[in-house]
Structure 1
Amino acid sequence: MATPMTPAQWRAVLTAEGVKYTEYQGWTTRGRDAATGKAFGPVHGVLNHHTAGSNSLHAVAVGGAPNLPAPLAHTFLPKSGVAVLVSCHRANHAGLAAANVYAAIVAEKTLPKQDKSKTVDGNDCLYGIETENLGNGKDVYTRAQYDAWVRWNAAICRHHGWSAGSIAGHLETSIEGKVDPRGPVEGYGDRGRFEFTMKQLRADVDERLKHPASWSPGATTPYTVARGDTLWSIAASKLGDGNRWKEIAELNSLKDADAITPGQKLKLPRK
């Protein structure tokens, strides 16, 4: 259980995580709380969508869809990878979610197949992002777009102390047969083209959460351990900050910080 982020917190966590963003006019007050009489929060997770269209910012922010008033998410993510904040209040993005899946999100456990007999209103308690893609299985998510997508999810999880188990796709929660998000991804970090799956997104968010918010995927350089090296001395000489030895240890899965030997190959984070 967590209190929804304030505008100031949104700005802070996205900036720290390296998400480039703009603010749609009125995003700090726009929402469905007053119209529905239902407040947004407490929040328990994050729901991911594709727009199934192009140039969808106006629809997501203020235009809405047939029989579905805007805002349709908290954030719109176009191909450029520059996120647009459209609301920090209740948004029409989740609809009815299978209660058993929702419970798994809250518990950060593996998501089960939807039991459609019991539902919860996901708009009450889930953050939502609409990522621009036609959803036809051919339209490609750009490298910048996917990188921002991972960072956006990680920023929320990091702020609330959640794991990647707190994020889901609409296809995993919906009792209406939603298929989003899906489609090919241009690449991510050192990875080339691949097919989007929520399993992969969760893995990439999980990996990101193991590092400082300033970390970038694939941003490593090789280093060969010299005689007399310690992780502290390597961090001080190569990264300019001896306190970053913990990043080196985590990046190389070193349980014992002193267990390095001359000639050993290490990966160093970007300076």
Structure 2
Amino acid sequence: MATPLSADSLVAALRAEGVSVVEHEGWRTHNRNSKGSWGPVNGVVIHHTVTSGTTASVNLCYNGHSELPGPLCHGVIAKDGTVYLVGNGRANHAGSGDGDVLAAVVAEKATLPAPNENNTDGNVHFYGFECVNLGDGKDPWPAVQLEAMVRASAALCRAHGWSARSVIGHKEWTNTKIDPKGFAMSDFRSRVEARLGEKPAGSTGSAPKPSKPEYEPFPGAAWFKKHPKSAVVTAMGKRLVANGCSAYTEGPGPQWTDADRASYSKWQRKLGYTGASADGWPGATSWAALKVPKV
């Protein structure tokens, strides 16, 4: 039992565990707290989305649908291992489940009872990760995605002092769901347990800790005006999205487009620039502030 992490603490915990995080615009205040309690929290529920495509999955989980408003989870874990944060607080993900399962999670028991009642509101007690997969037993789970799922789960367990037994599948919470399908939760918990036995990337110990982050040097405004196609553009776009400055309809890609310029203009205005100084063409000072990771 624990107090939910703040938005800043959640981001820090995930990144310390080596997870690539993208902050969806508005996620920090996006929740269903007006509809019920959020916390104390007791564990993590793993789901599959029954969707394909990162952008569509993230938008669905952020917005929800007519029968179930968003957020539908706290984070969406894409096929490439990126975690997109879409909610902070109570989320419509776990629904009703078995109180005996909750008691077993709280006690961190080695064996969970089979869920046979839906008498407890799981949205109060669990963080939720929706993982992009069709859920048909045929859609593959890439190694990089599974590793991100393990690390994200471990990050929350480490932050709260929980063991891997605090991580469950949606199908273990209620007998009305089958997710996640395609791997065994017992094997998944074993991986989380092994991860918790290691030092997080951001701590002291055996895991290496860079003395200084490496960022892409400013390539010059003229470089962008040639409409480059480069991994640097993708890295820049991800940083813009993470800072809530997205004008993208699809995820940022290697080709510089008007969406990149519009997103960068948002970043310039966020830094206080106006007029011609916020025209969307990167400058040395705003670029340095963006901290684009080296590719």
Normalising by structure 2, what TM-score?
0.66
Q: For residues 97 and 65 of structure 1, what CA distance do their matches in structure 2 show?
A: 21
Tell me how far 1:168 sits from its aligned partner.
Answer: 0.3
* In 2: Cα distance, 1:15 partner to 1:47 partner: 19
Q: Secondary structure at the match of 2:68?
A: coil
Alignment check: 8 A CA contact 1:99 1:115 kept: no
Pick the aligned partner of 1:206 from 189, 193, 202.
Answer: 193
Partner of 2:125: 125
Quick one: which amino acid aligns to residue 193 of structure 2?
D
Q: TM-score, normalization: structure 1?
A: 0.72
| Match of residue 50 from structure 1 | 48
Q: For 2:162, give the aligned amino acid.
A: W
Match of 2:60 in 1: 59
Counterparts of residues 1-271 of structure 1 (less than 5 Å): 1-34=1-34, 36=35, 38-55=36-53, 56-62=57-63, 64-109=64-109, 110-116=111-117, 119-176=119-176, 178-183=177-182, 196-214=183-201, 244=206
Aligned Cα root-mean-square deviation (Å) = 1.7
- In structure 2, give the amino acid aligned to 1:3: T
- Cα pair 2:24 2:85 within 8 Å, conserved: yes
Per the alignment, in what secondary structure is the counterpart of residue 41 of structure 2? coil
Unpaired segments of 5 or more residues in structure 1? Answer: 184-195, 216-240, 246-271
Distance 2:173 2:97 in 1: 5
Q: Which has the higher helix share?
A: 2
Give the number of the structure whose residues are more often strand, by fraction.
1
Partner Cα distance (1:9, 1:244) in 2 = 23
The alpha-carbon deviation at position 47 of structure 1 amounts to 0.5
Partner of 2:275: none
Residues 79 and 145 of structure 2 are in contact (CA less than 8 Å); yes or no, is this contact kept in structure 1?
A: yes
Q: What CA deviation, in whole Å up to 9, does each residue of 1:209-259 have, x standing for no partner? A: 1110129xxxxxxxxxxxxxxxxxxxxxxxxx9x749xxxxxxxxxxxxxx
Shift of 1:65: 3.3
Q: Are the aligned partners of 2:164 and 2:193 in contact in 1 as well (CA < 8 Å)?
A: yes
- The alpha-carbon deviation at position 114 of structure 1 amounts to 1.3
Whole-angstrom CA distance in 1 between matches of 2:167 and 2:25? 27
Change (3 A) 1:89 1:244: closer
Tell whether the 8 Å contact from 2:33 to 2:90 is kept in structure 1 after alignment: yes
Q: Distance in 1 between matches of 2:104 and 2:169?
A: 13
Report percent identity of matched pairs: 45
1:118-149: CA deviation from partner (whole Å, max 9, x where unpaired): 62100011000000000011101111111100
Q: Please give the per-residue CA displacement for 1:2-47, whole angstroms capped at 9, x wherever unaligned.
A: 011101101111111000010000010000012x1x1311101110
Q: Is contact 1:52-1:133 (8 Å) kept?
A: yes
What amino acid maps onto 1:60 in structure 2? C
Which segments of structure 1 move beyond 4 Å, counting only runs of 4 or more?
A: none
Matched AA of 2:69: P
Per-residue CA distance 1:56-108 (angstroms, 9 max, x = gap): 1111011x134111100000011111110001110000010111111111111
Q: Aligned partners of 1:99 and 1:66: how far apart in 2?
A: 28
Contact 2:116/2:174 (8 A) holds in 1: no
Greater shift, 4-13 or 155-164, is seen at 4-13
Amino acid at match of 1:182: K
Q: Which stretches in structure 2 are left out of the alignment for 5+ residues?
A: 208-295
